[in-house]
Amino acid sequence: MRRFVYPIGPAEAGRTVKSLLKGKGYSSRALTRLKKDPLGLLRNGAHVRTVDLLAEGDRLEVTLREEENTYARCDTPVPILWEDEDFVAFDKPAGMPCHTSWAHPADTLANVFAAHCDRLGMQAPFRVLGRLDQDTTGCVLVAKNQLAASLLVARPAWVKKVYLAAVSGAPQPPAGRVDAPIARAGEDSGLRRVDPAGQRAVTNYRTLRPLPGGRSLLAFSLETGRTHQIRVHMAHLGHPLLGDALYGGDCAALSRQALHCAGLAFFHPERGEWVRLFAPLPADMAALCGPVGEETLPFWRQEVPE
């Protein structure tokens, strides 16, 4: 349950409850649920309808009650990078999917989040804001209530990420922009490929340093969010990610794709400020690439406000 209080000033006076809340990002679905809850909408402590007018000096109180989380609980420890009443950011390990499936009914980040909610004494569905592949590590942001989720989903520019990957060879030029559409490799295939008939996909990359064995460490920022986008684009350039067997990567040094979401920044709608998070390389990638600090991430420093 999350409670919000909105004091009504001169600028809000004369608006309906619905108009005010729509302007603050509440969805039609959220308003429908609030109308059904006798304590969902209160004006000066008394029930109010969404069609009622607000006056200067009123105090509008909104209580969001969440649906029961029915996921199985998983107590696998996953580091929390940051948390408040609206969001929690995890540092997801390799081998853990974000969502449940028939093959992973109880060992996903969704299950970890369900157990975390129990410890907090709260209920919340799993609303992940940008999932990572099962073997990709790093920052994953989860919204704890419907309003927080809808505000960021509606404003993709409010969420920025930086990825790190180890690849074969040395891309030329060392920094660039890949604008190449991506489609399924086949109707029933989970693989993707660059295809003129696919959806537009844009990846920005920059080489951070050469690595032993003719490899390179790269940083990435994405302008689109297609499945396997970094993996497909780098394979298309002839520099597949180390450990990425699906796309022709060298698996001699790593048994999973060497891809890590190191930086996450988002504009917090309630705080009115940017939250900036960093997840260090996991042990297997650090052994290959050496340490990487937040200050070395180029796109991060250029694109995320201080």
| Residues with catalytic function | 133
- CA neighbor of 170 nearest in space, from 112, 127, 79, 234: 234
Q: How far apart are CA 302 and CA 137, in angstroms?
A: 23
Q: Among the residues of the chain, which ranges form H helices?
A: 17-23, 28-36, 109-120, 146-153, 229-236, 283-289, 298-303
How many CB atoms are closer than 10 A to CB 188? 6
Q: How far apart are CA 265 and CA 271, in angstroms?
A: 14
Q: At 238, give phi and psi (nearest 5°).
A: 90, 15
Residue 302 carries which DSSP code?
H
What is the helix (H) or strand (E) element at residue 219, kind and residue range? strand 215-222
- CA neighbor of 179 nearest in space, from 206, 205, 162, 201: 201
Q: Which two three-digit tokens encode residue 38?
A: 């006798």
Q: How far apart are CA 219 and CA 207, in angstroms?
A: 6
Q: At 33, give phi and psi (nearest 5°).
A: -65, -40
